[in-house]
């Protein structure tokens, strides 16, 4: 029988762990500080940032949103990041993406101090993923890691195929799988004859942003499938995997919604606490 991997349940476990870690920090007089930088008035971004702040506050962090107008000069945004880098009460910084087109996102992300980079997207942190030892893993990749660990599926010695190559998800997920001993093949939407590769996968992670890219012809019977896609089609949220076709063939699969989605915000707050612990010498490991 196929296991439906419940992201809400695993996210709840992450939150309980984070709450306990924050309690221990507070007993030592330390309150983890998270600052969320929101540029412009995009309604979806504003809602997402508010939900991140609410969860962080609910779990005992001190979380602040710094809002800037959509026409802010890049120099002003960089000046704010510089101030946050120097503020010892701030342990973690997130700049909500996407930014308005006149701002260079790479330059902005590079301005964040690596030790406060809660998204794990600073070049120094992305580089450390190739060694399997960043300060924190990017949030969605960290969530995928927790979901895979929750299934008990072996990773070392398995063939893992990652469909997607973004620095947010595809790249760091492939690096995490390598660090755990998997043999990793990385594909993307332009890969010719994609089923040739995906049918080899004991573990298949799909993060291509293409609705129902993966059907029954793409999967190996008994595989574990992680669907990162969140595509709105005809008013419905669907994944990159055709769940109805694929679920009967595999041993475990994430649904959309309710799979990877709930993990991303939970891992953001977990990352913020990890950065606080590392900065203050209280704990040096990566929780994921």
> What residues act catalytically?
52, 96, 119
Helices vs strands, H then E, count in the chain: 10, 11
Q: Do residues 181 and 157 touch, judged by C-beta distance below 8 A? A: yes
Contact status, residue 272 vs residue 34, Cβ threshold 8 Å: yes
Report the 3 state secondary structure along 105-119: HHHHHHHCCHHHECC
Q: Where are the beta strands (DSSP E) in 85-193?
A: 92-95, 159-163, 183-187
Look at residue 123 and give its three-state secondary structure: helix
Question: What angle do the packed helices 261-279 and 43-58 form, to 10 degrees?
Answer: 60
Read off the tokens for 278: 């590392």
* C-alpha closest to that of 199 among 163, 253, 146: 163
Residues 6+ apart with CB under 8 A from 197: 161, 185, 187, 191
Q: Beta strands 231-233 and 236-238: pairing type? A: antiparallel
Distance of CA 286 to the CA centre of its chain: 14
Residue 65 burial by CB count (10 A; 0-12/13-18/19+): exposed, middle or buried? middle
Contact 35, 84 (CB under 8 A): yes
- The candidate with the shortest Cα–Cα distance to 30, out of 55, 60, 59, 53, is 60
């Amino acid at each position: 029988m196929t296991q439906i991997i419940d992201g809400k349940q695993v996210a709840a476990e992450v939150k309980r762990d984070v709450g306990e870690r924050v309690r221990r920090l507070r007993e030592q007089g330390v309150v983890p500080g998270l600052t969320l930088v929101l540029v412009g008035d995009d309604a979806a971004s504003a809602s997402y940032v508010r939900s991140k702040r609410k969860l962080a506050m609910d779990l005992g962090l001190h979380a602040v949103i710094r809002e800037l107008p959509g026409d802010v000069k890049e120099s002003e945004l960089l000046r704010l990041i510089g101030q946050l880098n120097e503020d010892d009460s701030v342990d973690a910084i997130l700049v909500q993406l996407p930014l308005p087109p006149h701002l260079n996102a790479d330059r902005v992300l590079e301005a964040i101090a690596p030790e406060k980079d809660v998204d794990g997207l600073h070049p120094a942190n992305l580089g450390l993923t190739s060694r399997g030892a960043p300060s924190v893993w990017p949030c969605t990749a960290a969530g995928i890691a927790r979901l895979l660990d929750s299934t008990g599926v072996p990773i070392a010695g398995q063939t893992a195929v990652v469909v997607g190559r973004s620095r947010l998800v595809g790249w760091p997920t492939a690096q995490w799988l390598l660090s755990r001993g998997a043999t990793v093949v990385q594909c993307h939407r332009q890969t010719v004859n994609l089923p040739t590769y995906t049918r080899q996968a004991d573990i298949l992670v799909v993060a291509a942003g293409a609705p129902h890219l993966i059907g029954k012809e793409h999967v190996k019977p008994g595989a574990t499938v992680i669907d990162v896609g969140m595509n709105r089609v005809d008013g419905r949220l669907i994944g990159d995997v055709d769940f109805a076709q694929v679920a009967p063939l595999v041993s475990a699969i994430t649904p959309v919604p309710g799979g990877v989605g709930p993990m991303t915000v939970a891992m953001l707050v977990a990352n913020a606490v990890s950065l606080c612990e590392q900065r203050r010498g209280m704990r040096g490991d990566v929780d994921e």
